Amino acid sequence: MLALVSSWHHIFSLAGSGALKYLNVLTNLIFFVALILLALAIANFFTIRRPSAASERSEIVSVLIPVRNEAENIADLVLTLQAQQFLAQPEIIFINDSSTDETSKKLQEVIDGGAQIKVINAPGLPSGWMGKPWALQQGYLQAKGEIVVTLDADVRLTPTAISQAIAMLGERSFISPYPKQIAKTLIERLIQPLLQWSWMSTVPLRIAEKSSRTSLAVANGQFFVVRKSALSQIGGFTAIASEVLDDIELARALIKSGARGGVADGSALAQTRMYKNFAEVKAGYGKSLWKAFGSKSGSAGVIIFLFATGIAPVISWFAGNPLGFLAYGFIVFTRMLSANRSRGRALDALLHPISCAILIYLIIYSWRARGVVAWKGRTL
């Protein structure tokens, strides 16, 4: 390692003292940014809302699950839903969004087996709507519950997950318990932890819960709990009809209407495995990253941020500046804090520069694939 650092330092020396001086100034700035991110990550680590003990819920709770080509998930998901405890009046609604596989057959099988669920077949997707919001809107229109819970089909819940999530909701209008993200392959381990790290280290979560600033909205549509009265204020899911990032945009629409809420630690309540290989990662992120940051300039800003906090510190460290090593260490520690809260692998944080490089590639790819990449058989 010492020989490698020495070689890099020699290379940068050959580039000229002017370049090194510029790099050192940049490193000083990056060091202070890393220090701020670390302080925020530590604050969120201790203050993020976490599950409390389960308690009996007397109100009707409507659980909406939009499904499109989810045959492989139906049986296991229904089992976790039927096992939910402390819910006096659960209403479980599956919305079949024009599935072309055996989803309909699997839903009928679990009904025939005695599962207490309701199935809605969503009408054909109209112009101006994305599939998931359209399916959720059909469920919303028939939901009777005072509390509405939306779930993705690949989420698995503990027996008290919904009850505990509602307890975390408290007096707020919505809460999004962030599930544990299962990551087994190397590409999953490099990319998936960045999801939670991105807001654990940049958003003051308890302030965001009470804020009217939509820019502070954080949510995950895999597990979302909202009061139906708050949904009604925005016309259900019509407010996000055409949104690719339905979860963040739903939170923003709710906040804009006067509702308040935010993200919570749901890693002890739910888990999911979003993708299983690089092709799935590329398709999944390709469909949405172009929209995640608002515009091309917003995406460019995020790319600069990822380079500055993930790659530049290592370059500076190898060029001989100790602040580069400290900045890298601070950022890695923020990743470790995030991994601890999300029940992930802390040691994967050491590969943060590689993770940032891959995410930069995926952002660029997403913009280039806009209008071309397909998801669940639909071009987005």
Domains and CATH numbers, the chain: 2-47+280-379 (no CATH), 57-179+220-273 (3.90.550.10)
Residue 18 tokens, joined: 């002017």
Average pLDDT in the 238-265 region?
A: 95
The confidence score (pLDDT) of residue 66 equals 97
Residue 380 confidence class, pLDDT cut points 50, 70, 90? low
- Give pTM, 2 decimals: 0.89
| pLDDT tens digit sequence for 180-197 | 999 999 999 999 999 999
Q: How far apart are CA 298 and CA 137, in angstroms?
A: 30
Which long-range CB contacts under 8 A does 81-85 form with residues at least 24 apart? 81/117, 81/157, 82/115, 82/116, 83/157, 83/159, 84/157, 84/159, 84/160, 84/161, 84/162, 84/163, 85/54, 85/159, 85/160, 85/163
Helix, strand, coil % in the chain, rounded to nearest 5: 55, 15, 30
Q: How far apart are CA 374 and CA 356, in angstroms?
A: 24
Query: What DSSP string runs through 98-135?
Result: S--SSHHHHHHHHHHTT---EEEEPPPPPTT--HHHHH
Q: How far apart are CA 301 and CA 51, in angstroms?
A: 34
Question: What is the pLDDT of the chain when averaged over all its residues?
Answer: 91
Q: How far apart are CA 296 and CA 164, in angstroms?
A: 39
The confidence score (pLDDT) of residue 26 equals 85
Quick check: helix, strand or coil at residue 227? strand
The confidence score (pLDDT) of residue 24 equals 77
Q: How far apart are CA 355 and CA 332, in angstroms?
A: 12
| pLDDT tens digit sequence for 345-359 | 999 999 999 999 999
